[in-house]
Amino acid sequence: MSLKLIFLGPPGAGKGTQADIISRKVSIPRIAPGDLFRKAVAEHTELGKLVQSYIDSGKLVPDEITINLMRDKLSSPEAKRGFILDGFPRNLVQAEALDRLLKELGIKLDAAIYIGVPFDRLVERSAGRRVCKQCGAAYHVKFKPPRVANVCDLCGGELYQRDDDRPETVRRRLEVYEENTRPLVDYYSRQGLLKRIDGDQPVDKVFSDIQEALGLNNNDQH
């Protein structure tokens, strides 16, 4: 199945969690600039050096860097069969750049999935988030603990806490979201692509709501 999706929503809404489930289910890549930036920082690459200070302070990485990275990913052979953009675009300049790029590549988006979660829940979600060093899978100390403490269920990698998940930085990221990213809800609504999903529900229920919104066949799960 070929699905071309973008995931919108505030930090901690559950985009990565849901995008990961769908990407495994329909075998399409999940393309997440945040993951790619963190990997670059951990590996001390040139890209990592460029982006580290923005990530640490909870600001957006400059558009030019982000758009170039996404152009590479979207033009790659793996993205031919479909993709989930998790965390891109994050402002209007990026959304317009994405529209141009998709036009160039002859690709049409199927939907923009907006995962809404009330503000006060988001700090709690980010504060308890633990991430796999190896595969990037997200866990939560309370809501989604791994089977073995600090070990990824999927790949056995070690879990760690993101530096930018400290409450002060999360609050800064939420402000950045309100100012820059929220306007994209309207942008995709006007394009007729927006699907609003209530993210303040258990992971499985959020997932079944997304499936329903996309018209995916529920029987595939079993």
State yes or no: is 171 an active-site residue. no
Q: Is 92 helix (H, G, I), strand (E, B) or coil?
A: helix
**Minimum separation from the CB atom of position 16 to ligand ADP (A):** 3
The CA–CA distances, whole Å, from 192 to 15, 58, 195 equal 20, 31, 9
Residue 15: partners with Cβ closer than 8 Å, 6 or more residues away: 7, 8, 9, 86, 87, 115
- Both ends of the chain: CA-CA distance in Å? 17
Q: How many angstroms from the chain centroid is the CA of residue 34?
A: 8
Binding status of residue 34 toward ligand ADP by CB under 6 A:
yes
Q: How many angstroms from the chain centroid is the CA of residue 101?
A: 19
Q: Which does 74 bind (CB under 5 to 8 A by kind): Zn ion, ligand ADP, none?
A: none
Binding status of residue 132 toward ligand ADP by CB under 6 A:
no
Q: Which does 135 bind (CB under 5 to 8 A by kind): ligand ADP, Zn ion, none?
A: Zn ion
Are 22 and 84 in contact by the 8 Å Cβ rule? The answer is yes
Identify which range of 51-59, 97-105, 145-153, 182-190 contacts ligand ADP by CB under 6 A.
Answer: 51-59
Choose which of 22, 66, 79, 84 interacts with ligand ADP (CB under 6 A). 66
State yes or no: is 162 an active-site residue. yes
Q: Which of 30, 90, 125, 130 is catalytic?
A: 90
State yes or no: is 166 an active-site residue. no
Residue 163: partners with Cβ closer than 8 Å, 6 or more residues away: 55, 56, 169
Are 130 and 26 in contact by the 8 Å Cβ rule? The answer is no
Identify which range of 84-92, 104-112, 147-155, 163-171 contacts Zn ion by CB under 5 A.
Answer: 147-155
State yes or no: is 15 an active-site residue. yes
Give the span between the Cα atoms of 60 and 182, in whole angstroms.
14
- Name the residues that contact Zn ion, by CB under 5 A: 132, 134-135, 137, 152, 154-155, 157
Please give the positions annotated as active site. Answer: 15, 90, 129, 162, 173
- Name the residues that contact ligand ADP, by CB under 6 A: 9, 11-17, 33-34, 37, 54-55, 58-61, 66, 87-90, 94, 125, 128-129, 138-140, 143-144, 164, 173, 201-203, 206
